[in-house]
């Protein structure tokens, strides 16, 4: 099992722009609403958050559109060997300080199907910038999680837990979602295997966060 933290310079430049969209639950399907919504959609005052698991390889292009546009993501709750999925964390209604700056941090835990930890990190910077636009707009955090299933990874349900903390407001919300790693493979080439040969494989969970 290999966990690596990488800094994507191109992503950082994009994240520093005001990435937000008009807050409509239609931008995320009902499945996301039920699995990842921390507060009711009609709450206009609460700090809210969502988790979305997508197999869209072009999710960034879908999100990086005018504020009035409502992006539509393909959602998934399963991944095969050799495939990549991305877990996105959204938030709404952050509280700015006296200078108009928001300060959102987050804790991340990823748990394997057997209950053991795959990845854990606390107090990551998820948003620290000047609030632009309507606070009710849906916004994307700095932390992006990519998961690629590889030979040797345990099949079954993987759990992703994110604690979003609005430091200015002094509140935090717990988000949880999951995906299933299933045995069907999308690898195009296989090497012949001998009986009794052990597999040494590892999953890749890549994080992109603002430096």
**What pLDDT shows up at residue 20?**
52
**What pLDDT shows up at residue 202?**
46
The DSSP code sequence of the chain is -EEEEE--HHHHHHHTS--EE---GGGS-HHHHHHH-SS-TT-SSS-EEEEEEE--TTHHHHHSS-TTS-----B-SEEEET-EEEEEEEEE-PPP-TTSEEEEEEEEEEE-TTS-EEEEEEEEEEEEEE--S-TTSEEE-S-EEEEEB-TTSPPEEEEEEEEEEETTTTEEEEEEEEEEEEEEE--S------TTPPP----EEEEE---
Is residue 50 within 8 A of residue 36, CB to CB? The reply is yes
Reported pTM: 0.73
**What pLDDT shows up at residue 99?**
95
Q: Provide the number of structural domains found in the chain.
A: 1
Is residue 139 within 8 A of residue 129, CB to CB? The reply is no
Range of the domain at 174: 2-185+203-208
Integer angstrom CA distances of residue 158 from 61, 103, 105, 109, 172: 27, 29, 23, 11, 23
In a domain, 108, yes or no: yes
**What pLDDT shows up at residue 21?**
52
**What pLDDT shows up at residue 199?**
38
What average pLDDT values come out for the chain (211 residues) when binned by 10 residues? 32 36 39 38 70 93 79 90 91 94 95 94 94 89 90 93 95 95 66 42 48 40
In a domain, 62, yes or no: yes
CA 161, chain centre distance (Å): 10
In a domain, 191, yes or no: no
**The domain that contains 29 carries what CATH number?**
2.60.40.2550
């Amino acid at each position: 099992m290999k966990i690596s933290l990488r800094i994507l310079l191109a992503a950082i430049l994009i994240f520093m722009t005001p990435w937000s969209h008009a807050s409509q639950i239609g931008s995320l399907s009902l499945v996301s609403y039920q699995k990842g919504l921390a507060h009711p959609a009609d709450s206009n005052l609460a700090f809210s958050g969502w988790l979305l698991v997508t197999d869209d390889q072009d999710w960034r292009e879908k999100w990086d559109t005018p504020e009035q546009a409502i992006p539509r993501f393909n959602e998934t709750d399963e991944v095969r060997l050799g495939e990549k999925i991305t877990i996105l964390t959204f938030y709404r209604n952050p509280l700015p300080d006296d200078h108009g700056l928001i300060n959102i941090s987050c804790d991340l835990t990823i748990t394997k199907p057997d209950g053991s930890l795959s990845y854990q990190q606390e107090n990551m910077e998820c948003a620290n910038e000047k609030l632009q636009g309507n606070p009710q707009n849906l916004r994307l955090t700095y932390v992006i999680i990519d998961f690629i299933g590889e030979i040797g990874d345990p099949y079954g349900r993987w759990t992703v837990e994110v604690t979003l903390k609005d430091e200015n407001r002094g509140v935090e919300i717990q988000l949880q979602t999951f995906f299933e790693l299933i045995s069907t493979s999308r690898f195009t080439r296989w090497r012949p295997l001998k009986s009794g040969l052990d597999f040494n494989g590892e999953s890749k969970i890549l994080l992109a966060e603002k430096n």
